[in-house]
């Protein structure tokens, strides 16, 4: 009997904890919400927004220890060696018309395997938008996910209902390594029940209904902003309003959504005033970036005090940072070189993850050997522990230093601070 993509594999299971650990440590904060919404021992397909390249799949993979299979765009399977690696990673291809008619014909095989995956009650994850985009929005969805759901329902829906789980990933920053990540699972869409109750006989029309429903449900699970001419201004307002308020990632997302709702209402009721405000917001954002001031600094009432405590932390941590810099220099320089050659900056965090994944164990092994060669064992043991945490510290220290400099600049930019105050965001929203 041919081996299925979802079958257990020793080497996959052996490597998985290492992969997941690296994913989790690629974020300062990582949260998972809504797992109670997932029907277990059922046929489930997860439809997920796609905003941060390969990191989306890695983040989903590390959400729990439940077996998962992914579907990715078929053009990355062109190289036979890469195709074998992706198959080992439990990733199936799905092709689009742009890949050619011959390639699209291969979809029947992939769709059949996908149906078999969920028939075996293994979680199947798809990104129905088809491509990534670093925005708090959604693109038009393709039909692949829904064809799988329809075929699965026809084959075994009466015995095991088929569900689509709306899923959203929200990042604190799409481009900065060691930011934050949150996964939010929504209420399941019962495909089997939908087809029992629908009065529409045309399958294509029913798929369009499911597409609209999934898109609407995903948009409720993260900070969703309509992708129109005002997107950038609205996102700037959301960041300035909610960047530093206390609470976890889920509460922050709820505050973001509330702010978006207020801004959209303001735009609807006072379109001219909103247009004027958006223009001033974007002008402020341009000035802020030009002067290298972080949006986190603008949220502080007393930036000088904030800069002082940051300076104290930086001074205390400086010896550890210098040691970490010496140790992690190969990883850092390799990452900078590769990221500097990227055509799409959205792949930046994927590169940072990949370099860290490959070089971290080498740095740790070599560093540990040197420590035990030149230091007493108890000092070497302590150094080994510090070495283990050196890369996250190295990255976080740089981020803290960047924010400290931003706070200092913001403190002495009186004209820019007056420009910010004139926006009157706290009163409006």
pLDDT in tens, 32-91: 999 999 998 899 999 999 999 999 999 999 999 899 999 988 878 888 888 888 888 899
Which two structure tokens, joined as six digits, stand for 375? 């230091």
Give CA–CA dist 400/196, Å, rounded. Answer: 56
**Treating both helix axes as pointing N-terminal to C-terminal, what angle do 348-374 and 390-411 enclose, rounded to 10 degrees?**
120
Q: What is the pLDDT of residues 115-171, one digit of tens each?
A: 999 999 999 999 999 899 999 999 999 999 999 999 999 999 999 999 999 999 999
Predicted pLDDT at 299: 83
Judge residue 178's burial from the number of C-beta atoms within 10 Å of its C-beta, 0-12 exposed, 13-18 middle, 19 or more buried: buried
86-100, 305-319, 344-358 — which is least confidently predicted?
86-100
Of 231, 226, 238, the closest CA to residue 425 belongs to: 238
Question: What pTM was computed for the model?
Answer: 0.93
Residue 29 parent element (H or E) = strand 29-33
Q: What is the DSSP letter of 246?
A: S
| 251 neighbors 203 (Cβ within 8 angstroms) | no
Of 269, 280, 287, the closest CA to residue 233 belongs to: 280
Q: CA of 163: how far to CAs of 194, 210, 381, 389, in Å?
A: 10, 11, 50, 41
Which two structure tokens, joined as six digits, stand for 219? 């948009």
According to CATH, the topology of domain 10-219 is: Glycerol-3-phosphate (1)-acyltransferase (3.40.1130)
Give CA–CA dist 164/146, Å, rounded. Answer: 9
Spatial neighbors of 426 by CB under 8 A, at least 6 apart, are 241
Residue 43 parent element (H or E) = strand 43-48
Residue 312: how many other CB atoms lie within 10 Å? 10
Res. 282: pLDDT tops 60: yes
Predicted pLDDT at 85: 84
Which two structure tokens, joined as six digits, stand for 152? 């699965």
Res. 108: pLDDT tops 90: no
Predicted pLDDT at 104: 65
> What is the overall mean pLDDT for the chain?
93
Which two structure tokens, joined as six digits, stand for 11? 């080497």
Give CA–CA dist 373/104, Å, rounded. Answer: 58
Q: What is the mean pLDDT of residues 218-240?
A: 96
**Looking only at Cα atoms, what is the longest distance across the chain?**
78
Predicted pLDDT at 260: 97
């Amino acid at each position: 009997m041919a081996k299925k993509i979802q079958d257990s594999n020793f080497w996959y299971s052996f490597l998985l904890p290492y992969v997941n650990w690296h994913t989790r440590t690629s974020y300062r904060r990582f949260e998972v919400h809504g797992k109670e919404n997932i029907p277990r021992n059922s046929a489930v397909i997860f439809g997920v927004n796609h905003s941060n390249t390969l990191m989306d799949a890695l983040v989903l993979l590390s959400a729990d220890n439940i077996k998962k299979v992914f579907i990715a765009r078929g053009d990355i399977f062109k190289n036979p060696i890469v195709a074998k690696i992706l198959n080992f990673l439990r990733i199936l291809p799905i092709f689009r018309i742009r890949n050619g008619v011959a390639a699209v014909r291969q979809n029947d095989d992939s769709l059949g395997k996908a149906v078999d995956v969920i028939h075996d009650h293994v979680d199947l994850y798809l990104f129905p938008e088809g491509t990534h985009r670093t925005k708090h929005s959604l693109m038009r969805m393709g039909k692949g996910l829904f064809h799988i759901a329809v075929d699965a329902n026809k084959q075994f829906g009466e015995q095991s209902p088929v569900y689509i789980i709306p899923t959203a990933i929200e990042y604190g920053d799409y481009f900065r390594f060691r930011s934050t990540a949150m996964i939010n699972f929504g209420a399941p869409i019962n495909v089997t029940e939908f087809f029992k109750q629908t009065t529409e006989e045309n399958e294509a029309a029913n798929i369009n209904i499911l597409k609209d429903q999934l898109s609407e449900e995903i948009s409720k699970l993260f900070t969703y902003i309509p992708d129109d001419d005002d997107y950038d201004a609205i996102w700037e307002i959301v960041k300035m309003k909610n960047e530093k308020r206390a609470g976890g990632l889920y509460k922050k997302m709820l505050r973001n959504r509330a702010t978006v709702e207020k801004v959209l209402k303001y735009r609807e009721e006072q379109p001219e005033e909103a247009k004027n405000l958006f223009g001033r917001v974007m002008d402020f954002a341009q000035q802020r970036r030009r002067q290298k001031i972080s949006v986190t600094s603008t949220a502080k009432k007393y930036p000088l005090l904030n800069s002082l405590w940051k300076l104290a932390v930086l001074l205390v941590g400086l010896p550890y940072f210098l040691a970490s810099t010496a140790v992690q220099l190969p990883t850092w320089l390799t990452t900078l070189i590769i990221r500097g050659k990227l055509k799409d900056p959205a792949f930046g965090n994927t590169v940072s993850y990949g370099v860290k994944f490959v070089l971290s164990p080498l740095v740790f092994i070599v560093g540990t050997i040197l420590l035990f060669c030149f230091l007493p064992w108890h000092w070497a043991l302590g150094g080994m522990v510090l070495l283990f945490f050196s890369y996250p510290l190295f990255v976080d220290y740089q981020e803290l230093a960047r924010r400290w400099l931003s706070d200092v600049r913001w403190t002495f930019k009186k004209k820019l601070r007056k420009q910010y105050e004139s926006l009157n965001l706290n009163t409006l929203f």
